Amino acid sequence: MANQALAVLESALRARKLDRTLTTALPPLERRDESALIPTSIAALDACLHGGLPRGQLSEIIGPRSSGRTTLLLQMMAATTRRGEIAAVVDTFDRLDVASVGAAGIDPDRLLWIRGQTICEHGPRSHASASPWLGEASFEQTVVDRALKALNLVLQAGGFAYVAIDLADVSRSTLTRIPFTTWLRVQRIIEGSDTACVLVAPQPLARSAGGLTLSLTACARWAGEADRSRHVIGADLTVRVVSPRRRVDGEVGIRATAAATF
C-alpha cells in the first residue's frame, strides 16, 4: 500500500518535472552530442565551447559598451539562419541596426525582430501605449517587463533555434529589480527543447546550470593618420568563457572587421 502511494507520488512529481534535484537536473558533464549545441561559426570560439552554445539552456553575453556584444550576437544569429533555422531577437530598446544585420550575413527572412520601445530626448515616445507622464526609470521598467513577456511568448511558441533578449542598455537598477524567478521560468520553458536562449546584458544576470557566460571586452582598431582618412577597421574582442559545469573556461581572442558600409 505504501509502495503504491509512493509510486503515485513519484509519478505526479515526474509529470510536473519536480522529481529532480539540483544535480540530476543538470546535463552530463562531458556531453559531446553536436546536435545539442548551436555553433557560433567562429572557429576559435567553437573550439573553446566544444561545439557551441548549448540548446535548451539559458546563456548570457555580458560586457560594457563597445565590448562586441552585438557583434557576437549577430554573428551567432547569422550562423543560425545560414543553417536554415530561425532566430528571434527581443530588442528591448529598439537598437538593432538593419545595416549591421545585413553585414553580419543574417538572412532577414529567418530573423524575427521584436522591437521594443525607445526612449527619446523628451522621455518616452514612439508608442501609443507609453504613458507620457511616467518617469524615465518607470518607463524603462515597463519596457523591460514588456520585453520579458515577449520573450516568454516566443519561447513558448517553440521552433526557434536561437532566441536572444537584448538588455544591454538597461540600467543596473532596473536589471536588479527583475525577479530571479523570471529566469527560472525561462529555463523551465526551454528545458529539453532545441532552443538556445541568450541574454545580452552589461553585467552577469542569469545563467542556467548548463548554460554559458561569455564575458566580453574589446578594443576598436583604427587605421589612418589624418582625421579624414582615419576610420574604424574593426575590433579585437576578447571572450572569457565561464561555465564551471561544462568545464569550458577559457579566453578566446576574436578579430572583427568593419563592413564596407560601416
Looking only at residues 182 through 201 of this chain, which bind other proteins when binding is defined by CB under 8 A?
Answer: 194
Stretch that binds other proteins, among 14-22, 175-183, 204-212, 254-262 (CB under 8 A): 254-262
Question: Residue 21: enclosing H or E segment and its boundaries?
Answer: none
- 118 touching other proteins, by CB under 8 A: yes
- 98 touching other proteins, by CB under 8 A: yes
Q: Of 26 and 112, which CB lies nearer to other proteins in the complex structure?
A: 112
Which residue bears the cell 543538470? 26
- 232 touching other proteins, by CB under 8 A: yes
Residues numbered 59 to 88 that lie near other proteins (CB under 8 A) are: 64-75, 78-79, 81-86
- 41 touching other proteins, by CB under 8 A: yes
Stretch that binds other proteins, among 17-25, 36-44, 176-184, 240-248 (CB under 8 A): 36-44
Inter-residue contact 198 to 53 (CB < 8 Å) = yes
Q: How far is the CB of 18 from other proteins (least distance, A)?
A: 27
CA distance 236 to 126: 35
Inter-residue contact 238 to 217 (CB < 8 Å) = yes
Cell (9 digits) for 88: 528571434
Q: How far is the CB of 128 from other proteins (least distance, A)?
A: 7
Q: How many CA atoms lie within 13 A of 37 on its CB side?
A: 19
* x/- track of binding to other proteins for residues 129-168 (CB under 8 A): x------xx--------x--xx--xx--xxxxx------x
Residues 6+ apart with CB under 8 A from 29: 245, 246, 247
CA distance 178 to 184: 12
Q: Of 95 and 247, which CB lies nearer to other proteins in the complex structure?
A: 95
Out of 230, 249, 251, 253, the residue judged to bind other proteins by CB under 8 A: 230
- Terminal Cα-to-Cα distance of the chain (whole angstroms): 72
Cell (9 digits) for 45: 570560439
Q: Of 58 and 74, which CB lies nearer to other proteins in the complex structure?
A: 74
